[in-house]
Chain A
């Protein structure tokens, strides 16, 4: 049974009911403009507090820096 997830390539402990916001807090990701994908699926920003992460998931958090 998987009790870990991968966040940007780092293995992290997983807990039942863990949300995207929990994962961001765990990683201390406070940058205000992020794109989050769980196993390749985009999570809209409004769902960070409600979207749960399944055990063993691959979570990708992209930091968007301004500049064009």
Chain B
């Protein structure tokens, strides 16, 4: 199948723009793996994805990995799965823990940055780092769905707790 055969019946206005776009994704967990998969399906030209973790069984209720990929680095498993859907996407994957040193090096070329980290600390680090190095970069942030039953994770609950303990 040729590339033009693969990308048939795409939006004539949006698709050419998406093909030119590079999207950075920080984290390949519940948010990042699914975002990457959907953007690959949509026809984004290039994705840059980083994650330090490996696939575990507990990820499989929400992350875009398969049972036979347990133990693989998440970015490696994700690249396999994305390429099975869209062989024409350009993919840069990094099996690293992102920090203030490597984020500017790995993500300097992105048009949009997507924060898909787990911990609030890492989210704040990424936002501060990107804002400092790339002041005009659009950053999309989200909070994920892992372990939602742990009520202490909600801000209103944390505020009530600190108000009472104070």
A residues bordering B, Cβ < 8 Å?
Answer: 28-35, 42, 44-45, 62-68
Task: From known contacts A28-B159, A67-B30, A68-B32, infer whether A33 and B124 are also in contact, taking CB-CB under 8 Å.
Answer: yes
From A33, A45, A66, residue with most partner B Cβ within 10 Å: A66
Task: From known contacts A28-B163, A33-B124, infer whether A62 and B32 are also in contact, taking CB-CB under 8 Å.
Answer: no
The total of chain B residues at the interface (CB under 8 A) is 32
The residue from B121, B131, B147 contacting A67, defined by CB atoms under 8 A apart? B147
Q: How many A-B residue pairs have CB under 8 A?
A: 68
| B141 adjacent to A62 (CB under 8 Å) | yes
| B158 adjacent to A66 (CB under 8 Å) | no
The residue from A29, A30, A66 contacting B120, defined by CB atoms under 8 A apart? A66
Residues of B within 8 A of A63 (CB): 155
Q: What is the CA–CA distance of A44 and B124 in the complex, to the nearest angstrom?
A: 10
| A68 adjacent to B124 (CB under 8 Å) | no
Question: For residue A31, which residue of chain B has the nearest CB?
Answer: B155
